Structure 1
């Protein structure tokens, strides 16, 4: 059913129906009642543009995700799904937009084209031009992640520094003295990817506190890279007995690398990390990990954004989570290998 049919049944012009829906021009109360009666009888629902004009809102939020050229990790997919689910519960639509490199025009269209009421940013860098851009535009936004100076924005995040430090302490308690941190890709870390830098800081701090020997490496987000990374670590550091990691997508490859070296998990080698719970539990053996509550983070990000859209002057809010480590089947007492 379209506006033309409504106009015909109400005995008014199409423009009058449009004005009644959008409030763009005054329409007499009697005419408006007649139009609304026809709309109720026909079950007509104004399109999104008409609702936006009437309400001053689009009822759509933007979710800025990593570039389409990158395969999203299970954790990232969890964030996307939880944001979409929480938005749906609030009767909001979600417009997905990749950012980075050739996708910057997509980001600009989303934030400058009145297409969304606010934005949720993923994969935030320590110094992030997107954050500065949104602050300059005055468009409400919330980060899943935070910058180096996070006070000027609302955000939810995982405390990677604390969690990787806990992984190191857990492994040290099991007698492991030589450990490695397997981070995300070198490109991400070089670009200022926050979790990568905070994981390094937590690893270095815990290694120093426990008097351990540690090595840090970067690894692409896939199983093949994880296998190659583990093989290289074993070749260059033969006394290594454990790994801490935030690279969940590479873990299954690490398992293969250990198996090819004739090492069992956790009998000969231990692995602990930060990962999505479903992913950690689906691995064989299940990964000892701090389980990232992606559902909660996505829902809280939507909640904070709704608050900022309703009242842009509301104080910035921050949520930093450090979930406990779930002990599964990939960590055990150290067995010296040198």
Structure 2
């Protein structure tokens, strides 16, 4: 790796002169500046990120906190992360990926090191322990991909999951379904009060109550064995259930297979609506009516909001993307409607 000293020797100047050319902190003659830049290009010198940060107080690095938990659907998290990385590069920033479950300790490490200029946080809980550190004003600019219970003083972007739950209830009610079941995320997601899952359920329950629908919610690990037990309990408790809302990508195919094994046709006997990525919905064994999770747009919008903060624009902003429900093959009129 080429060093700053080697650039100085090649250009016939001191190391401090090379440093001043890179930082722009002192006036250097045009001839000397050109000679240094030619040496940098000829030798292929790249300033170390830490050195750049010390010289300019700008590291051009964004820390992306993505706790990778076993009970979360990692492909969605990674699609958001890739969108963050590619959009950041368009703005001349690199991304430092932090995947541990350290909570506030990770925020302190980022703000204390000075390496990252700003942060994007994912997997937001309703009462997230990281938020006080972001609100105290002493940290780096930050954007949340997710919505806590109290977003005051924060910048957030998310799908409007409350409206998503309501939209699913509206669709099934419009088809005549009166008894609904929600196949939810793994139990740990609700135990942590993860925002997207809690808000979807709240929105669905509130709309169902207004429409006079009954709702069962059952968290599920998502595997075939786990779902078989969950589905059996649902039909034992509510044998008249004809509408399912699934917010658990790992449960989609097991649910469709178990319904077939039980002699229940989709959508003639049972309708299924999913909250999932478009790819999961369109590649399922029955093309699913779904509300898509706009992972790429979430990542892009998070970076754009962060760039605005870095340029001194709004310190506090909540952007909720409106949900869109696409009707496919998995939803249809409730059986009692068909028989009329």
TM-score normalised by length of structure 2: 0.88
Shift of 1:176: 1.1
TM-score after normalising by structure 1: 0.89
Q: Which deviates the most, 26-35 or 315-324?
A: 26-35
CA 228–97 in structure 1, closer or farther in 2 if over 3 Å, else same: farther
1:251 equivalent to 2:252? Answer yes
Asked if structure 2 preserves the Cα contact closer than 8 Å seen for 1:164 and 1:245, the reply is: no
Conservation of the 8 A alpha-carbon contact between 2:104 and 2:133: no
State the match for 2:201 in structure 1: 200
Looking at structure 2, the residues matched to 88 and 155 of structure 1 have their Cα atoms a distance apart, in angstroms, of 21
**1:293-332 to 2 correspondence within 5 Å?**
293-311=294-312, 314-332=314-332
For residues 161 and 72 of structure 2, the distance between their equivalents in structure 1, rounded to whole angstroms, comes to 21
Alignment correspondent of 1:276: 277
Residue 191 of structure 1 is matched in structure 2 by 192
Structure 1 residue aligned with 2:262: 261
Structure 1 unaligned spans of 5+: none
Partner Cα separation in structure 1 for residue 170 and residue 314 of structure 2: 39
Secondary structure in 2 aligned to 1:150?
Answer: coil
Which runs of structure 2 are paired with 1:96-245 in the superposition (5 Å)? 96-100=97-101, 105-136=105-136, 137-222=138-223, 224-245=225-246
Which structure 2 segments of 5+ residues have no match?
A: none
Give the whole-Å Cα distance in 2 for the aligned partners of 1:68 and 1:91.
30
Note the C-alpha offset of 1:117. Answer: 0.9
| Partners of 2:161 and 2:323 within 8 A in 1 | no
For 2:208 and 2:175, locate their aligned partners in 1 and report how far apart those are by CA, in whole Å. 14
Give the Cα separation in 2 of the matches to 1:140 and 1:223.
43
Please tell me whether the aligned partners of residues 289 and 331 of structure 2 are also in contact (alpha carbons under 8 angstroms). yes
Question: Matched residues in 2 for 1:335 and 1:73: separation?
Answer: 36
**1:226–1:251: 8 Å Cα contact kept in structure 2?**
no
CA shift at 1:144, angstroms? Answer: 0.8
Between the aligned partners of 2:320 and 2:288, the Cα distance in structure 1 is 23
Task: Choose 249-258 or 146-155, whichever is displaced more.
Answer: 249-258
Determine helix, strand or coil for the equivalent of 1:256. Answer: helix
Cα distance change of structure 1 residues 127 and 103 upon mapping to structure 2, 3 Å threshold: closer
Shift of 1:57: 1.1
8 Å CA contact retained: 1:21, 1:50 = no
CA-to-partner distance for each residue in 1:17-59, whole Å, 9 max, x for gaps? 3454346788777655543342244443323223323332111
Cα 1:179–1:3, aligned 2, differ >3 Å: closer, same or farther? same
CA contact (8 A) 2:71 2:189 kept: no
Cα pair 1:124 1:147 within 8 Å, conserved: yes
Stretch deviating more after TM superposition (140-149 or 247-256): 247-256
CA distance in 2, matches of 1:46, 1:25: 18
Q: Residues 223 and 160 from structure 1, CA distance in 2 versus in 1: closer, same or farther, beyond 3 angstroms?
A: farther
CA shift at 1:331, angstroms?
Answer: 0.6
Quickly say closer, same or farther: Cα 1:309–1:163, change in 2 above 3 A: same
3-state SS of the aligned residue for 2:62?
strand
CA distance in 2, matches of 1:39, 1:246: 53
User: Within 1, Cα distance between the matches of 2:114 and 2:324?
Assistant: 41
1:35-93 deviation line (CA, Å, top 9, x unaligned)? 33422444433232233233321111111112354553433232122112211222211
Q: What is the CA distance between 1:16 and its match in structure 2? A: 4.6
Report the equivalent of 1:3. 4
Quote the Cα distance in structure 2 between the aligned partners of 1:24 and 1:249: 55
- Structure 2 vs 1, CA of residues 14 and 20 (structure 1 numbering), >3 Å: closer, same or farther? same
